[in-house]
A = this chain, B = another copy of it.
Amino acid sequence: MEFGITFKGFVEPNRARALVRQAENAGFSHCWFYDSHILWRESYPAMAMCMEHTQKMRFGPCVTNPNTRDWSAAASLFGSLALQSNGRFDIGLGRGDSAVRVMGKKPATLARLEEFTDVVRKLVRGDEAQYGECPNPVQFPWAVGYELPIWVAAYGPKALSSAGRVGDGLILQIAEPAICKWLGDQAIAAGKEAGRDMSNYRIMAAAPAYFGDLDTCREATRWFPAMVGNHVADIVEKYGTGREDIPASLTAYIKDRKGYDYSKHGQSDNPYLDFITDDIIEGFSVLGSPDDHIAKLHKLKAAGVTQFNIYLDNGDEEQIIAEYGKSIIPAFS
């Protein structure tokens, strides 16, 4: 089991410098940043900064998308970060959620997402590639053959198929074991069907972790099911609620989910949280005592999850990292 943290965009730089070193020392192997350059800051300079204060930790966006940056500019950014960190750079990739919606743009199609993985991998490696907006084929003379790991965020059946066929890993923004297993299995099946060796395929469950009595925990993490609700709603829409193979924990989720305020994306004071039940909050996150965390993480591991990635959006970042370093991560090594 790998452990990751995902940074809030508004963590102060000097606090971030200390947090990544603390996290690396505590046993976390990955540090992810939201890539949503309007709501928060452009995160790549922060990754570059944090790389200077760590030695083994890997960094990357969770998630970027194919529509914010020119593809060669994106690939050059990724390749540069990989190069100056001695290869400690992955990307998480989605179709584009808050980062594009807040600009009034649309998410990318899955075909475009798949093409992006191909072009970006080639360019970062040093191969020639051509893409839509650019009249000339492009090649980086400075590339050194780095193979960029790409994790694809997916919920719906087609996106899961993409993730399994073109991704090195799958990002699931939820820590509900049954749902993780059901979604992960679909990605793996798609990969196998395409003839890939899926034995090293990685599955990340990204969700908040919080310590304390359940009331406190639920209050602190209620924003999370609300935030991922739009994605889950997509699933329900795509699969239909009547299908038999859908986990009960998923169908239990929201009938009457209402609008969502993107200007408060990822914040705990996001309104429209009323429809979230206690069961949903507990199911989606990792809450309670250290023993509760360990128990839930064992279930996630059994469900095929290879990395638990903590969304550090509830404050108490230092305390959560310290507690994981002291009592949780050692239980999985």
A297 at the A/B interface (Cβ < 8 Å)?
no
Tell whether A40 pairs with B142 under 8 Å between CB atoms, given A22-B18, A25-B18, A73-B68: yes
CB pair A142–B80 under 8 Å, yes or no, is no
A98 to B48, CA, bound (A): 25
Question: In the complex, are the beta carbons of A80 and B41 less than 8 A apart?
Answer: yes
A134 an interface residue at 8 Å Cβ cutoff?
A: yes
Q: Does A212 interact with chain B (Cβ within 8 Å)?
A: no
**Stoichiometry (number of copies):** 4
Q: Is the CB of B142 within 8 A of A46?
A: no
Of the candidates B55, B68, B105, the one whose C-beta lies within 8 Å of that of A135 is: B105
Kindly supply a per-residue 1/0 record for chain A positions 63-85, scoring 1 wherever the CB is within 8 Å of any chain B CB and 0 otherwise: 00000111011001101110110
Question: Of residues 284 to 333 in A, which have CB atoms within 8 Å of B's CB atoms?
Answer: 315-319, 321-323, 326
How far does the Cβ of A135 sit from chain B's closest Cβ, in whole Å?
Answer: 4
Known: A38-B76, A83-B13, A84-B13. A103 touches B49 (CB 8 A): no
User: Which residues from B are CB-within-8-Å of A322?
Assistant: 316-319
Chain B neighbourhood of A213, CB < 8 A: none
A138 touches B (CB below 8 Å): yes
Q: Establish whether residues B102 and A41, one from each chain, have CB atoms under 8 Å apart when the complex forms.
A: no
Complex CA gap A19/B21 in Å reads 9
Residues of A within 8 A of B (CB): 9-10, 12-15, 17-19, 21-22, 24-25, 37-49, 51-53, 55, 68-70, 72-73, 76-77, 79-81, 83-84, 102-105, 134-136, 138-142, 263, 315-319, 321-323, 326
